[in-house]
Chains A and B, each alone.
Chain A
Amino acid sequence: MNPDMRAFLAALDTEIVFGQVAVRRLERGFELRHESDRSAAADNLTTLKGTELRTWSQQAAGGAFRPLKSAPNLRAGWRALAADSAALELLLHYLYPGAVADWFAAQAAAPPITSYRQFTARQTGMYRITTMLQDAIAGAAIRACCHVDFCLKRRLWSVEGLEADAAGAKSLIPCLEPCALLLEFARKVARLEQNDAPPSEEPQADAAEGDFDAPSNPRRKRFGLEKQALAAKRAVE
């Protein structure tokens, strides 16, 4: 058994909630279900097997693609059984790819955390522009992108002037470095900052989670609020 799974099983007494998933020990093997279904009768839940769980986790209610598995919109209504730890490892991997390993790595004496500056400094091509964000704007972009409405990972990395998420915040799953959405979002913010275009005032239905070109993207709307808060703070100072 891999050391990350060994540690995970050691932490799993009778039940553990990992992201939005409750993992329970059964007499033999394990059961996984959405945490909101913790008290549901098993008969009322659809049993998903193996890769069906990956397919399930790919879409939000309404069919939208989920580009980030730690988004707080995992659909409920299912349960999955794992006969042993190897099967459990795979199911967790389908739901939260790489998350058990990150959870384990975060417990090391010196967790492998990569800050915004370290991460963006090594980027090339179209992502070079992300290095140009000033700390305060980068902070607002990170606050918006990693907001609990959009992601349940506890952010351990940061940028100058921004706190990492507190222990117990969001979920057990740590975030050890920026994700692809953050990188893409930071790029968009850098472009917007260059043009300094005022945010559109018109209320619009939310655009897709990964579509940062649309002003109605939920993270972009959130960024608008974060920038307002930043401006207010600066005015006070």
Chain B
Amino acid sequence: MQRPLCASGIFQFCTNHEILEYLDQRWPSANRPCRGHHWPCDVSDNFSDAALVLIGHGSTVNADSATPTCQHADALRQRGLFAQVREAFWKQEPYVWQVLRGVFAPRVFVVPLFISDGYFTEEVIPRELGFRRPGETNFARAQQRGGQTLHYCGPVGTHSSMTEVLLARAREIVQTFPFPRAPKPSDTALFIAGHGTGNNENSRQAIEQQAALIRGRQLYAEVHAVFMEEDPRIGDCGRLAHVKNIVMVPFFISDGLHSFEDIPVMLGVPRPVVRERLRQGQPTWRNPTERDGKRIWYTAAIGSEPHLSDVILERVREAAGPC
């Protein structure tokens, strides 16, 4: 069942039947925050008593890693929905273990800007926020601390509405570079590129799930999940696609070494050329590039897609629950 949240984030367009079905699915009736009888109620965007904390990985060696987290924190701050919006990082200030000292709102929503569930979202971040004690395998996602209720939300990457983010990225790149003309999705193979094993995260699962969701919509001629370190590989896209046009979207939060350098190399640009372009501050991939009879468009990482702010809000609404 599609989540019955309407575009505005208010449930008013949904039938009672849908709402009850949704509530049953999301919250088993025993611990459902409301029984649904005074629905539609204010599952509105009233977070004026709440703080939002966005968590990114960050880096001690480059500024790129933190950029998307700051970008969405800025965007959501501007929207003025929350009393306070803070970003925090594992590798940069304010640190995950530090950030809650500066958050005073009675309700606090923590949203990890990560692409999948894994070591960071399930172990490191909850531990450093004090949600999970060392050795504990499970932890409560909503906790009371002093006068505050803290909600630890799911990561953005596994939310079903990431599909919209991916589609927006894919649409936008061919519209920006429509040469010789923008191909129709029905003539295009969409590739979602991820890291794969070796990074402790279940990114493969998240990417395959998105590929299946988009495939189900029957928009694109083909939809494939490809990886840097696992089969099917990014470099095999030309062989895998049965149509001429390829759009490749990296399912990473930040642009960095992988998206700027490694993937263009896997797509066939010699590494010295990529490095030279980097050195000159040019894009490392030219859109579109013809390779082996295919025309390839390659987008920036999904983390900088503006729609991601909406996915963050979805995670908050989900944790807030109705009423």
Residues on A facing B (Cβ under 8 Å)? 2-4, 51, 54, 58-59, 65, 67-70, 93, 96-102, 104-105, 112, 114, 121-122, 124-125, 176-177, 179-181, 184, 208-211
**Taking each of A51, A65, A101, which has the highest tally of chain B beta carbons within 10 Å of its own beta carbon?**
A101
Total B residues in contact with A, Cβ cutoff 8 Å: 31
B63 & A180 in contact (Cβ 8 Å cutoff): no
Given contacts A65-B62, A67-B59, A208-B61, contact A97 B93 (CB under 8 A): yes
Which of A65, A105, A208, A209 has its CB near the most chain B CB atoms (within 10 A)? A65
Given the complex, which residues of B lie within 8 Å of A93, measured CB to CB? Answer: 86
Give A199 Cβ to nearest chain B Cβ, in Å. Answer: 22
Interface on B for A, CB 8 Å cutoff? Answer: 58-63, 70, 74, 84, 86-95, 97-99, 101-102, 104, 119, 123-124, 127, 134, 200
Say whether A2 contacts B92, CB under 8 Å.
Answer: no
**Distance A4 CA – B94 CA, assembled complex (angstroms):** 15
CA distance A101 to B102 in the complex (A): 5
In the A-B complex, the 6 residue pairs with the smallest Cβ-Cβ separation, listed nearest first, are: A101-B102, A98-B94, A210-B60, A67-B60, A97-B93, A97-B94
Main SS at interface, chain B: mixed
Residue from the list A124, A180, A211 in contact with B123, Cβ < 8 A: A124
Whether the Cβ atoms of B104 and A2 lie closer than 8 Å is yes
Residues on A with C-beta less than 8 A from B102 are 2, 4, 98, 100-102
**B60→A98 contact, CB < 8 A:** no
Distance in angstroms from B93 CB to nearest chain A CB is 4
Which of A3, A176, A208 contacts B98 (CB under 8 A)? Answer: A176
In the bound complex, do residue B61 and residue A65 qualify as a contact, i.e. CB atoms below 8 Å apart?
yes
- Contact at B60–A102, with CB atoms within 8 Å? no
Which chain A residues border B95 with CB–CB below 8 Å?
98, 179-180
**In the complex, what distance in Å separates the CA atom of A54 from the CA atom of B77?**
15
State whether B92 touches A54 (Cβ < 8 A). no
Q: Which residues on the B side are within 8 Å of A114 (C-beta)?
A: 97
A45 to B77, CA, bound (A): 28
Given the known interface contacts A2-B84, A2-B104, the answer about A67 and B61 at a Cβ–Cβ threshold of 8 Å is yes
Q: Pick the residue among B60, B84, B104, B134 that contacts A180 (CB under 8 A).
A: B60
